[in-house]
Structure 1
Amino acid sequence: MSRAEKHVIVRRIKHYFSQELQQQIGSFDAEFMLDFFAGKIGAYFYHRGLYDVQAALSRKIDDIQDAILQREQATSLQR
């Protein structure tokens, strides 16, 4: 992720701690936490995203195949 993206996420982590947990943490701690979670569980979210994209593409391919079959015209030849 870019430096700007990391900065936004760090701010959100700090805001979460402040609002939900009534604790103040610094940018260093928030960035450390982000790095920890990204390293330890980031791959799970990444893989879930890949599976979701694969399922969406599979549905689209099925739709395209159906559309092609609907346009098929009868001939004396068999498949």
Structure 2
Amino acid sequence: MNDDSFPKDARGRIALELKAYLSDEFDLEIGRFEAEGLLDEMLRLAGPYLYNAGLRDAQALLMRHVDDVNDGIDQLERRPEA
């Protein structure tokens, strides 16, 4: 994931949260630069999986809407009178 596709303010907040997490859980102090590097690596490793999961969720939502449209079209069909 390149820097342009991830909002700068979000990167900063997440980096600070990573710093706090490492400090609280592992008594490990790192700087903001290191935290942003860790975030970059995490995004590189996990990003494709998260992106693909998002695509699958969007596809499932779209398919539900398509099913609703198909149901609506079926209800509009005119049946010949017997």
Q: TM-score, normalised by structure 2?
A: 0.79
Q: How many angstroms apart in 2 are the aligned matches of 1:63 and 1:22? A: 53
Superposition deviation, residue 71 in structure 1: 2.2
> 2:65 corresponds to which residue?
60
> 2:21 corresponds to which residue?
16
> 1:45 corresponds to which residue?
50
Moved more, 59-68 or 14-23: 14-23
Q: How many angstroms apart in 1 are the aligned matches of 2:62 and 2:75? A: 20
RMSD, aligned α-carbons: 1.6
Question: What letter corresponds to residue 39 of structure 2 in structure 1?
Answer: L
Q: How many angstroms apart in 2 are the aligned matches of 1:50 and 1:62? A: 18
Q: How many angstroms apart in 1 are the aligned matches of 2:24 and 2:64? A: 41
**Structure 1: which 5+ runs fail to align?**
none
* Structure of higher RCO (CA pairs closer than 8 Å, 6+ residues apart): 2
**Misfit runs of 4+, over 4 Å:** none
Aligned match of 1:75 in 74, 77, 80? 80
Question: What letter corresponds to residue 74 of structure 2 in structure 1?
Answer: L
